[in-house]
Structure 1
Amino acid sequence: MAIIENGDKKYSTLLNEIETGQIKIPQFQRQFVWGLASSAKLIDSILKGYPIGTFIYWRTNERLRAIRDIGNIKLPEPKEGEFVNYVLDGQQRITSLFAALRGETIIRDNGKHEDFSSIYIDLDAQKDEDIVVVEVVGKKPFTYVKLTDLMNQGRRFFNDFPEKYDDTIDNYREILQSYQFKGINLKQAEIDIATEVFTRLNVGGRDLTLFEIMVAKTYDPQREFDLSEKFDELRVELSQSKYDTISASSILQLTSLLLERECKRKTILKLEKQKFIDTWFEVVECVKSAVDFFRSYGIPVSKLLPYNALIVPFGYFFYHHPNNPTGKKLQLLEDFFWRVSLGFRYSSAVEGKLVQDIDKIDQILREEQPRYEWSINTTPDFIKNNGYFSTGKSLTKAILCLYTIFKPKSFDNHLDVNIDNSWLKIATSKNYHHFFPKSYMRKNKPEVEYWLYNHIVNITIVDGYLNKNKIRAKAPSQYMSEFSNCNINLKDTMKTHLIDDLETYGILENDYDLFFNSRLNKISKELTARIIPQESDSIELITYEDIEIQDEGRSS
């Protein structure tokens, strides 16, 4: 249980503990942002006897990843086994004090240098005026003194100052040297308690992420393990495969499931540091194996994954099965992927569902068919009513995955379409093309509701150049006729976009109803073919030849 004790420190103690590394700024604190003016105000408040708030420390012998450099100030690490006081509240104040009283130069992130020795004491200032200033232009010599000189110079240094300032100089130095900096020590607290205190104290800022806490907790200088750096290294590796948007939280969940078969926040926070570090290499390898599987399956970039969390059960599979699956295992694994993606599986309560799903992965590893407690629906009716195009929807992304599995070719030359994460962030991105362009539909088909042409069925994946420069707002019959003149393989090209035939799909007549219904049935058929049926599923095919698409409202 956490213990609260007095943490007051005098001037000399405070500075000494900072200089010897006993006071540290934990990594989850924001960067030092106070400037000279704010620091001067703080010192001014001390000289006037105003309260400057209480410093709150987490006193522990745990070694966290800390911000070791305040600006460019090199500070030592404490000795092994010694307690460290991590600053939970007061980082800006404590850093300002140290920089000002030691006259340090701070180097900001943008490269700007800020000289904290340029803080002065105005010896003529009255109580209702600023005693501590950063601007002395126009002031007479020997009517002001640098703060650092006030605190560090001997009596001889002040011989040239008028005698009337002697008492003022001695008084200001005495106030600072004897000042009692109020503090509270939080002892015998777990890291989750300490970070909860930090979050509550910093109500004006953002909550700490689980990853930020785990970066602090798992830091181990002896083993040269820094989770933040390790995750960055992993992202660099994954970027070569265009899977660098995999989230840190998914990696933590996978690690926790491998170690404890649980992945709730409290479980992750209680993971033993050395076990976490020991497991990291294997976590990285099984994540890379999962990414290789997704890519070889036909999903070229991570932005298309219906859920980031899919990396967790697939990483778990490859942890226990390092080789690529074949035969029944592969069939069962594919079925699992589509059931999660089409069944809105990870839209809520992800942690609990991941625990349930690794049990299903265990069954797949044994080549047993899992029993799924959720059903899926691949009927044309369901896809139609839920297919409004939004890149944040799992159903949209699942169907986009289906598109990429067919390795879409460029309309003009039958070469592979280049698909990139940076082009897939929003619905208006370069790779997404409305086959019947939205501007064309607004002008020529005003009777068709917007949601029915801003629909996943009307989306194809193309190169950005074609979308912007050659297609624009043209009618499909027009731009397809143009492409037929330069692409002798156009019929095969269109099949890679799940469009079997230009004529029977109504494209040459600009018949949107026929196009929509034909492609809708094609998509439904292809999704159904990837599912191992269960009794609760709705996967029967329905033909929409006689249904007017504009008669039904949107449900998405």
Structure 2
Amino acid sequence: MYQPEPQSITFSTLISDIDKGIIKIPQFQRDFVWSLEQSAQLIDSIIKGFPIGTFILWESDENLRSIRNIGGADLPPTPLGSMCQYVLDGQQRMTSLYASLKGLVVKREKKSEDFSGIYIDLTASSEESIVITDISELEPTEYISLQNLLHGGISVLAAYPTDLHNVLENYKDRLSTYRFSTILLRGASIDVATEVFTRLNVGGKSLTVFEIMVAKTYDAELEFDLSEKFESFMLELEQVGYETISASNVLQTISVLLKGECTRKDILRIDKQDFIKIWDDAINSIKSAIEYFRNSYRIPVSKILPYNALVVPFAYFFYKHPHKPTNERKTYLDDFFWRISLSERYSNSLEGKLAQDIKRVDRILKGSQPKYDHHLDISKEALIENGGFNANRSFIKALLCIMAYQEPKSFSDNSIVRISNDWLKQANSKNYHHFFPKAYLKKKGKEEFYINHILNITIVDGFLNKNRIRAKAPSKYMEEFNNENAELLNTMETHLIKDLKEFGVWDDNYELFFEKRAEIFKEECKKRIIATTLKNRS
């Protein structure tokens, strides 16, 4: 059982422990953001004897991934035989003190800040700011840099008027004898340490599970750094358009592979060596799942994948069954995918539902059809009722996946439409085209719900959408494409518009078009779901 130990340490001990590599900033701490002015105020409080808060340190022999360079200084690893003390609370203050006392240049994203520019105003009263950063209105003998005060030696101090010598000695003494309040956690597990950190930062952003696992799984000997591993994996996913898969999805996958569950508590309880050992196989299983989405369902980019979390049960399947599914397994697995997507199953209580679905995947692995207790309605009425276009909804994404499966071609020349994650971030994306343009339908007095409906959406290339179609009536712009695209009938079939006349396009009949498209999407959904368990009104 760990015991918090209240302590107090001097300036010299604090700086010495940082210099030796004993005190470290763990990876899950935020970047150093304090300004030069904030640091000067902190030193000012110390000189005046004010309390500056307690540092909370966690002493551990766990080799966490830590930020070695406090304030930009190149610090050594923790000495052999010594326990590391990780800063749980007070990182901004501690880094500020260290940078100020060392006179470091701290590199920011956009600029660098020189922390040697902190000075003591020798003429200031106790009611004024004694520690300052602006010396433009002072004479050289009226101020001294913090560096010179602490490290300048007799010759530097002797250069000041004799009536200021007592002031200089007094300020130097106040800094060197100031005692910092600390609480040292000895013997606490990483779970306890990160819980302490999270509770201390209630007003800020809680630690993510990933940030904790980055710290927990770091292993210098095995050269395992989860942060670097994940970043490398993301670079691979970018190459295939699946970079929206999250760190959480990866951790959930590893957890279900090891435990069958994936709550925050389950993930944090994963043994470090077990995590490292399964990493490569887990990543390969996720890659297999993604390849299956891309090839079997022709989902070109992850932005239209109904849920990123779908990689979890599918990676589990491929971990247990490395080969592509065939026969009953394929039928049941595909049925599983579309049921999850069209029922919007993962829109809440994700972790619990993933655990339930892992058991369903176990049945599929045995060649048996799982039983489902969640409702699925893919009737034409349901498609219309639920089809208001929202590019973030699973149901809508599932229908976009059905569109993408057709490999839609350009209206103008029958070339393949390239679908990009960058273009699919919002509902007015370049790839999303209202077949009956919104401006056109608004002039006709149509309701917004029916104008901005998935049944009115096709996937086109951005140039076509912006430069050729605009707000023209479908009969007008389609006549132009009919004159330049000899394959137009085949092109339109790739957009699930089987016949321009039958769908009311030449007559600009939106009601007929809407009805026909509802019918065709109903049939496409039916193809993907095992029929015996459907609720399917016609």
TM more than 0.5: yes
**Higher mean Cα deviation, 195-204 or 161-170?**
195-204
Q: Which residue of 2 aligns with 1:466?
A: 464
Superposed CA RMSD in Å reads: 1.4
CA–CA distance in 1 between the matches of 2:84 and 2:185? 11
1:538 to 500, 514, 535: 535
Q: Which residue of 2 aligns with 1:17?
A: 17
Deviation of 1:197 after TM superposition, in Å, equals 2.2
Q: Name the SS of the counterpart of 1:370 in structure 2.
A: coil
Q: Which residue of 1 aligns with 2:278?
A: 279
CA contact under 8 A between 2:99 and 2:105: conserved in structure 1? yes
CA–CA distance in 2 between the matches of 1:510 and 1:81? 81
CA–CA distance in 1 between the matches of 2:222 and 2:147? 40
Q: Which residue of 1 aligns with 2:166?
A: 167
**Higher mean Cα deviation, 135-144 or 514-523?**
135-144
Q: Which residue of 1 aligns with 2:337?
A: 337
Q: Deviation digits for residues 290-330 of structure 1, max 9, x if unmatched?
A: 11111102100001111110000111111112222222221
Percent identity over the alignment is 51
Q: Name the SS of the counterpart of 1:62 in structure 2.
A: coil
Q: Which residue of 2 aligns with 1:359?
A: 359
1:483/1:114 Cα in 2 relative to 1: closer, same or farther (>3 Å)?
Answer: same
CA–CA distance in 2 between the matches of 1:106 and 1:7? 29
**Higher mean Cα deviation, 122-131 or 97-106?**
122-131
Q: Deviation digits for residues 73-115 of structure 1, max 9, x if unmatched?
A: 11111135632221121111111111111111111122x2222
CA–CA distance in 2 between the matches of 1:13 and 1:347? 52
Q: Which amino acid aligns with 1:451?
A: F
CA–CA distance in 2 between the matches of 1:180 and 1:325? 67
Q: Which amino acid aligns with 2:213?
A: M
Deviation of 1:524 after TM superposition, in Å, equals 0.2
CA–CA distance in 1 between the matches of 2:232 and 2:166? 59
Q: Which residue of 1 aligns with 2:434?
A: 434
Q: Deviation digits for residues 249-295 of structure 1, max 9, x if unmatched?
A: 11100001111111111010011111111111111111111111111
Q: Name the SS of the counterpart of 2:345 in structure 1.
A: coil
CA–CA distance in 2 between the matches of 1:388 and 1:83? 59
Q: Which residue of 1 aligns with 2:483?
A: 485
Q: Which amino acid aligns with 1:141?
A: P
**Higher mean Cα deviation, 28-37 or 65-74?**
65-74
Q: Which residue of 1 aligns with 2:293?
A: 294
1:64 aligns to 2:64 (yes or no): yes
Q: Deviation digits for residues 24-54 of structure 1, max 9, x if unmatched?
A: 1111211111122111111111111111111
CA–CA distance in 2 between the matches of 1:452 and 1:440? 13
CA–CA distance in 2 between the matches of 1:534 and 1:72? 65
1:526 to 524, 529, 534: 524
CA–CA distance in 2 between the matches of 1:162 and 1:414? 87
Map residues 122-521 of structure 1 onto 2, 5 A cutoff. Answer: 122-297=121-296, 298-444=298-444, 446=445, 448-521=446-519
Q: Name the SS of the counterpart of 1:31 in structure 2.
A: coil
Q: Deviation digits for residues 205-252 of structure 1, max 9, x if unmatched?
A: 212211111111111222211111111111100111100100111110
Q: Which residue of 1 aligns with 2:102?
A: 102
CA contact under 8 A between 1:71 and 1:108: conserved in structure 2? no
CA–CA distance in 2 between the matches of 1:293 and 1:94? 50
Q: Deviation digits for residues 481-536 of structure 1, max 9, x if unmatched?
A: 1101111111011111111100001111011111011110000011001111244x
CA–CA distance in 2 between the matches of 1:168 and 1:147? 14
Map residues 35-54 of structure 1 onto 2, 5 A cutoff. Answer: 35-54=35-54
CA–CA distance in 2 between the matches of 1:328 and 1:268? 32
CA–CA distance in 1 between the matches of 2:303 and 2:407? 16
Q: Which amino acid aligns with 2:470?
A: R
CA–CA distance in 1 between the matches of 2:137 and 2:165? 22
CA–CA distance in 2 between the matches of 1:104 and 1:202? 27
CA–CA distance in 2 between the matches of 1:70 and 1:436? 59
Q: Which amino acid aligns with 1:285?
A: N
CA–CA distance in 2 between the matches of 1:269 and 1:49? 41
Q: Name the SS of the counterpart of 2:144 in structure 1.
A: strand
Q: Which residue of 2 aligns with 1:73?
A: 73
CA–CA distance in 2 between the matches of 1:161 and 1:351? 68
Higher helix share: 2
CA contact under 8 A between 2:71 and 2:99: conserved in structure 1? no
CA–CA distance in 2 between the matches of 1:296 and 1:159? 79
Q: Name the SS of the counterpart of 2:528 in structure 1.
A: coil
**Higher mean Cα deviation, 366-375 or 273-282?**
366-375
1:358/1:160 Cα in 2 relative to 1: closer, same or farther (>3 Å)?
Answer: same
Q: Name the SS of the counterpart of 1:158 in structure 2.
A: helix
Deviation of 1:359 after TM superposition, in Å, equals 1.3
CA–CA distance in 1 between the matches of 2:412 and 2:197? 58
CA–CA distance in 2 between the matches of 1:2 and 1:386? 54
CA–CA distance in 2 between the matches of 1:7 and 1:339? 59
CA–CA distance in 2 between the matches of 1:216 and 1:487? 58
CA contact under 8 A between 1:70 and 1:106: conserved in structure 2? no
- Residues matched between the structures, number: 537
Deviation of 1:136 after TM superposition, in Å, equals 1.9
CA–CA distance in 2 between the matches of 1:534 and 1:10? 76
1:258/1:180 Cα in 2 relative to 1: closer, same or farther (>3 Å)?
Answer: same
CA–CA distance in 1 between the matches of 2:272 and 2:27? 17
Deviation of 1:156 after TM superposition, in Å, equals 3.0
Deviation of 1:138 after TM superposition, in Å, equals 3.6
CA–CA distance in 2 between the matches of 1:529 and 1:326? 17
CA contact under 8 A between 2:436 and 2:473: conserved in structure 1? yes
**Higher mean Cα deviation, 473-482 or 50-59?**
50-59
Q: Unmatched 5+ residue regions in structure 2?
A: none
CA contact under 8 A between 2:39 and 2:96: conserved in structure 1? yes
Q: Name the SS of the counterpart of 1:514 in structure 2.
A: helix
CA contact under 8 A between 2:71 and 2:98: conserved in structure 1? no
Deviation of 1:2 after TM superposition, in Å, equals 4.1
Deviation of 1:371 after TM superposition, in Å, equals 1.2
CA–CA distance in 2 between the matches of 1:109 and 1:526? 50
Q: Unmatched 5+ residue regions in structure 1?
A: 543-556
